[in-house]
Chains A and B, each alone.
Chain A
C-alpha cells in the first residue's frame, strides 16, 4: 500500500531483489509480515528473530493444504502438504511477524522451538495431536487434546468428519 512503485519504475534496468529477512523470502498478507523459511533454516531464523527482539511466541499452529496442492506461497518456495505457522510478537517494538514453514507429507517433522520459547510446548503437542507433525527435540511429545489411544489426526483434511443422523432429513434411516 505504501510502497506503490513510482511511475516509470518499470523501465529501471534491474528489478529490486525480492524482499527477504534473514535469508528467507518476505511477503505480506493483509498487511502482516510473513517470512518463509525452509525446514533447515527454521530454528536458525527463529533464533535470529528472537535476537531481533521477538521475545514471545504468540501462537504456533499448522495447516493441512491437501486440497490446495498448486497454491502460490512465496517466490522460490515450493508448496508442500503441511505448513507450520508461527506467530511471533515483539512487545518492545509492538510488532508481529509470522513464519510459514513448508512441511512435506513424506517427512512430517520439524525442529521444536521449545528451547527458544518454552511456551510452545503445549502448542507443538496440539499440532502433533491434531496434524501428526512431529517436533524433534520436544520434551514430551504426546497427545494433548485427543485420548492416548485415538487413531489418526483429526485436523488433517483426509480425516473424515463424522455425521450424526438427523431425523426428517432425506438420508435418515430409522433404527440407526
Chain B
C-alpha cells in the first residue's frame, strides 16, 4: 500500500510536498562538483590551515576524466558489514575520493518510534544496532526515566544488572568485530573463532532474556526479569573461557607480521580530525584521546568499578583492533567486580504508574488488574519535555533524544547512532590509500548498518 499523503485541499495541516527532484546521491564526476563538495569527497576535514586545505584540493588535473575511474563497492560486498555502499574514485590503485552511500536498510525506525508507547519502544530501538542491542535499550530507557524524573530511583539490583548486561554486550560486540575484522583482512580462521566466542556470550543472553538478540530486556523502570538461577556460574564460566581464547587471538593476529603489515599505518586519523568529525568510541580513542563516557560522564555505577580506558597512539586500523581486543579484557574486569557487588533486591522500580503489577497481584486486586491493563494498552504518560542522554556503546557515543508532548508515546524519538557519525571518517581515512586497504579501513570503523540507516 502506498503512503497516503492527503492533498492540500483536504486538510489545512498538510504542507505542500514537492515532487522528488533531489540531486543524485552518487559520487559525481569532478566537472559537476563545487570546490567544497570536492573537498568533502576527498575527505578534507576543515579547521586546517589554508595551505593544507589548498593541498587537498590539488588533485591531479583530469579534464577528460579518463585518468581516474569511479568504482562502486557494495552494497552487496561481503566486507561492507551489511549494506554499506562506497563509491571510490581511483587512480590506479590509489583512492582519490570516496563517498559512502547509505539508506539501503532504512526502515523508518524513528517514525515507528513515534507510534509505540514507551514500554514498546524498546522493541524498536533494540533492532537499530543489532550487535549491541542492550546498549540501545539502556539509552532509551535512561532517556525515558529522565523525562519521568525517576532516574534516581531505579533499584540497585536493576542498575547493576544493566551494567552486567551492557558490559557482556560490549564483549560480544567486540568479539564479533574481531571475527569480521579477521575475515576482511583474510584471516578467515579468526572469523570462526570470533563468532564462536560471541555465541557463548549470546547463549548467556538467551538464558537471561530469552533471546540471543533483540532482547527488549532493559525497560524504562528497570529490567524485565531477575537473573535466572545459576547465572553466576554461567558468567564465571564465560570469564574462565574467554581470556585464554583472547590470548590465542594475540598469538594468531597481534604479533603476526602479515596482520601488522595490513593494519599498521592504514586509515590514519588524528585526534583533531576525529573530534571535528564527531567520531567517538574506539576511533576517537585510537588517536590517543582518552574519551570514554563510562569514565568521563559516568552513568549507572561505573564510578564504583575499576577499569582502564584503552587508548592507541597512531590512530590507525591496528590501534583500533588492539583497543577493541583489550576492551574485551577490561569489560571482563568490570564484570568480575559486578559479580562481587551484585546486590539483592527489586529489579523494577516500585512505581505503579510505570511498572505493571506482578501476575499474582492481578488475581487478588482490581486496581492491579486495571493498572496492568492500562499500562499495556495505553502505556504510561510521560511529562512534557525533551532530553538527550548518551552512553558509551561499543561503537562510541549512542545518544537518545526524546521530545515528549505528555502522552504515552514519544513525540519524537531520535537516536544518535555512533556508526552513522563514524562512517563520515571514511572519505578522510581512505584518501591516498590503496583500494585494498579500503576493506581494512571499513572494517576498523566497525559500522553496523542497522543503526546507520535506522
Contacts and interface: CB of A to CB of B under 8 A. Distances in A.
Interface of A: 29-32, 34, 55-59, 61, 63-68, 71, 85, 87, 91, 94, 96, 98, 100, 105, 114-115, 117-123, 126, 130, 139-140, 142-165, 176
B246 interface: no
A152 B21 CA distance: 10
26 contacts: A34-B386, A58-B399, A64-B412, A67-B411, A71-B384, A91-B275, A91-B289, A91-B291, A94-B296, A98-B388, A118-B277, A119-B276, A119-B277, A123-B420, A126-B420, A130-B110, A146-B103, A147-B20, A148-B23, A152-B3, A152-B5, A160-B5, A160-B6, A161-B3, A165-B1, A176-B1
A130 B14 CA distance: 15
Contacts of A139: 34, 36-37, 39-40
B13 A30 contact: no
B24 interface: yes
Interface residues of B, number: 66
A37 to B, nearest CB: 16
B31 interface: no
Interface string B36-63: 1101100001110000000000000000
A148 B6 contact: no
A162 B3 contact: yes
B385 interface: yes
A151 B3 CA distance: 10
Contacts of B6: 158, 160
Nearest to A100: B386
Contacts of B390: 58, 96
Contacts of A165: 1
A30 B420 contact: no
B103 A151 contact: no
Interface string B1-29: 11111100001011101111011110000
A148 B80 CA distance: 22
B165 to A, nearest CB: 24
B438 to A, nearest CB: 19
Given A142-B24, A144-B102, A165-B1, A117 B388 contact: no
